[in-house]
Structure 1
Amino acid sequence: MTQELTTELGIVTWLCVLAASLWIPYIIGVSSDPANPDNFGRPGDLSLLRPWVHRAHRAHLNLLEQLLPFAVLVLLVDRVGGYSTLTFWTAIVFFWLRVVHAVGMITGMARMPLRPILFTGGWLCCLIMAYAVWAA
């Protein structure tokens, strides 16, 4: 039985690639930190790292916090056959919110109140996807 990859599942795939790759800026930051001569040791207190390195770590964690529920909800929508225009656009919006959040977080450009607004937008996308599960 062959099924096509929906936009929603494709978005989840790309989000997984993003989540699997967001460790890279953090590790580059930790290993290039002049205050950390032992690049193979565990970094100490994250708040003592350069600000962008600490933010890179948090960006990775923030993505994981929202990716897991969003991915499960998309899989549930797939299982119950609940795809619609709403789920299509919700997945696209969620993807770009997460990309902008990660880039803004690491660069420091997403300051208050933008960063929590982006995170809240991702949460709203999760709620919309949950609605799609129940509405199917």
Structure 2
Amino acid sequence: MSLLSLLMSFLTMAHAPVANLDCEAFPASAGLSCTFCPIGANPMTFSPELHLLTLTVIATLLMWIPYMLARIMTRGLMAALNNPDPSYPPDPPWAERARRAHANAIENLAVFAPLVLMCAMTGADSPATVFSARLYLVARLVHYVVYAAGIPVVRTIAFLAGFAATFTFAVALLRHAS
């Protein structure tokens, strides 16, 4: 099965009715558990990779809070809630870096998340993908903190670690497809 046909089947499954929701199918001792089975598809369990992806999404979702609090402290609540205006004082440098780190996290998540989902759908998971999902989460958190703090070399290393984790998922999918 090619990656394109796999992606197309994923997109069509997103609109398919759920035929089976069996929350007892996976041992609770393994962490979060559930089996979701759209009609005509193989069951997909809430794997460690999906759990780590969920944590990554939550972390990315919360990354705007520090720089918005800084904006409120700098400009005041009403000015922070208004449309941007050049007459407002600029954000502190760390807050601007945090905003850019958040944007970078969103851009990278747009590549990482589909790969994790496709691995979960196809059963292409392995110890390497579990490790890579952990690595990606840690790398993105480190990237955010050191980017906001203005530490350039560690920021680049964290970015490259996240890239390597993403690349590992792509390779796992290609190996599973062949």
TM normalised by structure 1 equals 0.87
Using the TM superposition, give the Cα deviation of residue 44 of structure 1 relative to its aligned residue in structure 2, in angstroms.
4.4
Q: Per residue, is there more helix in 1 or in 2?
A: 1
Using the TM superposition, give the Cα deviation of residue 126 of structure 1 relative to its aligned residue in structure 2, in angstroms.
1.0
The 4+ residue runs of structure 1 with deviation greater than 6 A are: none
Name 1:25's counterpart in structure 2: 66
Name 2:148's counterpart in structure 1: 106
Higher relative contact order (CA 8 A, sep 6+): 1
* Structure 2 residue runs without a partner (length 5+): 1-19, 23-34, 36-44
TM normalised by structure 2 equals 0.68
Q: What are the within-5 Å matches in structure 2 for residues 69-108 of structure 1?
A: 69-108=111-150
* Structure 1 residue runs without a partner (length 5+): none
From the CA coordinates, give the structure whose radius of gyration is larger: 2
Q: Percent identity?
A: 29
Using the TM superposition, give the Cα deviation of residue 39 of structure 1 relative to its aligned residue in structure 2, in angstroms.
2.7
Aligned residues: 133
Name 2:155's counterpart in structure 1: 115
Q: Per residue, is there more strand in 1 or in 2?
A: 2
For residues 33-52 of structure 1, what are the alpha-carbon distances to aligned partners after superposition, in whole Å with 9 as ceiling and x for unaligned? 1599723223446xx32111
Contact 2:142–2:155 under 8 Å retained in 1:
no
Q: In structure 1, give the amino acid aligned to 2:121.
A: R
RMSD of aligned alpha carbons: 2.1
For residues 76-125 of structure 1, what are the alpha-carbon distances to aligned partners after superposition, in whole Å with 9 as ceiling and x for unaligned? 101111010110101111110111111222233xx222111211211111
